[in-house]
Amino acid sequence: MAEITASMVKDLREKTDAPMMECKKALVEAGGDMAKAEEILRVKLGNKASKAATRTAAEGIVGIRIETDGKLGAILEVNCETDFVAKNEEFQALVSESVQLVAEKSPADVAALSALPLREGTVESTRAALVGKIGENMALRRFARVEAQGKLYQYIHGGAKIGVLLDLVGGDEQLGKDLAMHIAAAKPRSLDASGVDAALIETERRVAIEKAREAGKPEAMLEKIAEGTVQKFLKEVTLLGQVFVKAENGQETIEQLLKRKGASVAGFTLYVVGEGIEKKVSDFAAEVAAQAAAAKK
């Protein structure tokens, strides 16, 4: 019988993204034949998609759907483990079909979306089958469905890693495209100050006060200094307060631009793939050691 080395296990794991012990078992069953072991894993993973669900899915893409009249649209983030799978046509098809269902069926949440009919089953069964086929965890993370007050515009950037859905009242096509692009580039947290978390504002205020105090500023001036810092912060994180990225003079804010164009923004949704997800760094050597220790027990 051929010797099954750690290097062989590692190579098969990188090819299939299957659990390490499953790779070793497949290689033993295949007598060390890498191609046969890969085939064995593909068969087994079809029934073991749940194993992949324990792994972090922080890559993926954003899908956007806007109906032809621009009055109804949806945006959806679907995650996977690697950028390689994010570029997979079958994965992208799942995202495209799912975001269309969001627009058409208006599900209440991700669970409701997952239960909707798709192909020969449901969104969830289609997802699970693809997980089993590819051997990589995938997750429908979040979505928004928008019935526009004005007209919807979209912008996709960086291989669909950033997606923007914008509801613009008035203005024209160029303004809509420019604003959606600006949001993707500047990443505002909200439309205006009313949408910024009060706790976040208070944190900025406390930090400003402490910095000013450490710099030796008079106590009587601390509040005024902090207020100035907070206002600067709000201009940076709110869409209306930000300077337009395409402003010729480098000074016109989005609020001024909209006023000049006779338009307003009813709202926007910005998704950045993996934002807020803690990515796990894999240490193959440590995993081998842990598995070996577990086997001895």
- Residue 141: per-residue pLDDT: 95
Q: Indicate whether this model's pTM tops 0.95.
A: no
For 25-49, how does the pLDDT look when each residue is reduced to its tens digit (9 = 90+)?
889 988 998 888 877 776 665 444 4
**In terms of pLDDT, which residue wins out, 297 or 260?**
260
Decide the pairing of beta strands 264-272 and 138-147. Answer: unpaired
Tokens of 192: 């205006």
Rounded Cα gap, residues 212 and 223, in angstroms:
10
Asked whether the beta carbons of 66 and 100 are under 8 A apart, the reply is no
- Residue 48: per-residue pLDDT: 45
Asked whether the beta carbons of 80 and 44 are under 8 A apart, the reply is no
For 159-183, how does the pLDDT look when each residue is reduced to its tens digit (9 = 90+)?
899 999 999 999 999 999 999 999 9
Q: What is the mean pLDDT of the chain?
A: 88
Rounded Cα gap, residues 297 and 291, in angstroms:
10
At 193, the pLDDT band (50, 70, 90 cuts) reads very high
Strands lying side by side in the sheet with 162-169: 151-157, 162-169, 264-272
